[in-house]
Amino acid sequence: MNPAWIRPMPRYTRLMSARGHGPTVVLVGRPNVGKSTLFNRITGRRRSIVAPIAGTTRDALEGPATWQGRQFTLMDTGGLFGATTDPLHVLVEAQGLRALDAANLLVFVLDGQEGLVPADEVIAQKLRSYDRPVIVAVNKTDDKRARERAGEFHRLGFAPVIDVSAEHGDGVAELLDEIIARAPGVTLVPEEEEDEVDAAADQETSVAIVGRPNVGKSSLVNRLAREERVMVNELPGTTRDTVDVLLRWHKQTFRLVDTAGMRRPGKVAEAGQVEAVSVVLAKRAMERADVAVVVVDATEGVGDREAAIAGEAERAGCGVIIAVNKWDLVKGQGQDFVTEYDDRVRFQLKFLEYAPLLHLSALTGERTPKLLEAIDRVATARRKRVTTSELNRFLEEVTAANPPVSKHRREVRILYAAQTATEPPTFVFFTNVASELHFSYERFLANQLRERFGFEGTPIRIKVRKR
């Protein structure tokens, strides 16, 4: 996509590293040499999808890494130059080259079992033009034959050359020692500063951008990031890994997590292992998120798949925002059209009546700043805590006007209540008898709590206990 459409947006900036500490170290190499396995091994988390398919990784992923008390940002890139059947390989390669521009140090990952191949020579020549320190990591050297041929990689002219097994962890410590020694700007982070960094990370608002394939999730992330951070293409399933992008807006830090499109389970099964893992990672992103932005294609509207995705977000307990993207393609048809459109969306997602509904366009940037405002409001509401005295004054007023109704039609009185948790807000109502409230009365209480205390966009959990 041409970056010309990305216009400056005031008062927020993208943060260049996941934690703001240390240099950027980029893993580079042919497809299927084990870069993603090495990335996951060093960062200590499964962020990058690993599969025995050339071209599995597409977007450049980044994550914080720490070794011997020193921090750096590690980036995983798609394979460069090597053979792959991925129809988006040209875009993958272009994004990988942009990552090289941002690198302070390059780790050239090679396949010890295959040995040195012509594509490795092509990449080596390219890396020499970047004038960056280069470490060669010969991967898959966990068998004798691979170790015996490891010497041929010295012909590339880079030093040091380190044998590693990303899958089993052999040689990774030695590789990390060399990264710390050679990456410019690596400094020891004092323990008290590490605590401050951890506290800052805890204050981030994690935002999962979710939806079906091709609704514009990646375009929306790029619009907010003001750069082509993730790949955009008409091909369904372009995004595979979950890609994090940090933004600073009005002194708030948002971690935008672009996820793979979530199709029906039957379609996912047909697509194979990579898409199945992508969907699992998208669901995990919702489980960890403070807010889920459910992106809808304005030209197609809301269907059963959107309802299923939104239901996953609601069950995960994250705040929810409905973002109708591509509004530029349908707007201009009058207020009656807008009202009818919104009514249809609300009908399909009636269990999310509390979620803000926004019309926007990632392509033109229309109303995308409003999305950041809504994310901030919903995340704040999800963290809100009501004092016990306020809550019980509210309870007295509500139950006097609308007495409780029991699921089992027993006479039940709510004696008092307390908020026991946030994220999402959770309330326990103590009653005189061991009986559940009728589901309609629980919904009534949740709506009243939301109206009184401003729990916009967040699910409310209600529990009932006998005193």
pLDDT of residue 332: 86
452 domain residue, yes or no: yes
Is the peptide bond prior to 160 cis by the omega test (within 30 degrees of 0)? yes
- Three-state DSSP class for residue 461: strand
- CA distance linking residue 392 with residue 325, whole number of Å: 41
Angle at 327 between CA 326 and CA 330, to 5 degrees: 110
Task: Write out the residue range of the structural domain in which residue 136 sits.
Answer: 22-188
- Whether residues 370 and 430 fall in one domain: no
Domain endpoint, select from 351, 382, 413: 382
Tokens encoding 387: 């004092």
Q: Which of 3, 14, 33, 213 is nearest to 95 (CA)?
A: 3
Total count of domains within the chain: 3
- CA distance linking residue 343 with residue 331, whole number of Å: 16
- Whether residues 239 and 351 fall in one domain: yes
Tokens encoding 321: 């925002």
Q: Which of 208, 217, 252 is nearest to 236 (CA)?
A: 217
Q: Which of 409, 406, 400 is nearest to 448 (CA)?
A: 400
Q: List CB contacts of 343: < 8 A, sequence separation 6 or more.
A: none
Residues of the chain with pLDDT under 50: 1-20, 47-58, 83, 85-89, 192-202, 231-233, 235-240, 266-275
Backbone CA torsion sign across 91, 92, 97, 102: positive
Cβ-in-10-Å burial (0-12, 13-18, 19+) of 42 comes to buried
16 domain residue, yes or no: no
| β-pairing verdict for 252-258 and 357-359 | unpaired
- Whether residues 172 and 205 fall in one domain: no
- Whether residues 86 and 170 fall in one domain: yes
- Entry pTM: 0.67
- Whether residues 30 and 171 fall in one domain: yes
Q: Which of 458, 444, 463, 446 is nearest to 317 (CA)?
A: 458
Backbone angles phi, psi at 330, to 5 degrees: -125, -10
Identity of the amino acid at 339? T
Alpha-carbon distances, residue 173 vs 34, 67, 77, 178, 243 (angstroms): 16, 9, 21, 9, 26
For the beta carbon of residue 334, count every other beta carbon within 10 angstroms: 9
- Whether residues 411 and 353 fall in one domain: no
Host H or E run for residue 394: helix 388-401
Question: What residues form DSSP beta bridges with 109?
Answer: 137
- Whether residues 369 and 418 fall in one domain: no
122 domain residue, yes or no: yes
pLDDT of residue 108: 95
pLDDT of residue 236: 47
7 domain residue, yes or no: no
- Whether residues 327 and 445 fall in one domain: no
Domain endpoint, select from 347, 382, 417: 382
- Three-state DSSP class for residue 437: strand
First and final CA of the chain: distance in angstroms? 61
35 domain residue, yes or no: yes
| β-pairing verdict for 161-163 and 291-297 | unpaired
Domain endpoint, select from 356, 382, 408: 382
98 domain residue, yes or no: yes
- Whether residues 354 and 432 fall in one domain: no
- Whether residues 351 and 248 fall in one domain: yes
Total number of residues shown for the chain: 467
108 close to 145: Cβ distance less than 8 angstroms: no
Q: Which of 448, 9, 451 is nearest to 226 (CA)?
A: 9
1 domain residue, yes or no: no
- Whether residues 434 and 294 fall in one domain: no
Model confidence pLDDT, tens digit, residues 113-139: 888 888 899 889 988 988 889 999 999
Tokens encoding 363: 């392509």
Question: What residues form DSSP beta bridges with 453?
Answer: none
- CA distance linking residue 135 with residue 155, whole number of Å: 14
- Whether residues 178 and 70 fall in one domain: yes
pLDDT of residue 91: 55
99 close to 58: Cβ distance less than 8 angstroms: no
pLDDT of residue 412: 85
350 sits in the region (left: phi over 0; alpha: psi -120 to 50; else beta) called alpha
pLDDT of residue 90: 55
pLDDT of residue 7: 34
110 close to 153: Cβ distance less than 8 angstroms: yes
Sheet with strand 461-466: strands edge to edge: 414-421, 426-431, 461-466
DSSP string across 232-276: --SSTT---S-EEEEEEETTEEEEEEE------HHHHHHH-HHHH
CATH number of the domain enclosing 147: 3.40.50.300
Query: What distance lies between CA 28 and its chain's CA centroid?
Result: 23
415 domain residue, yes or no: yes
- CA distance linking residue 241 with residue 50, whole number of Å: 10
Q: List CB contacts of 219: < 8 A, sequence separation 6 or more.
A: 1, 232, 325, 362, 363
| β-pairing verdict for 205-210 and 291-297 | parallel
- CA distance linking residue 235 with residue 232, whole number of Å: 9
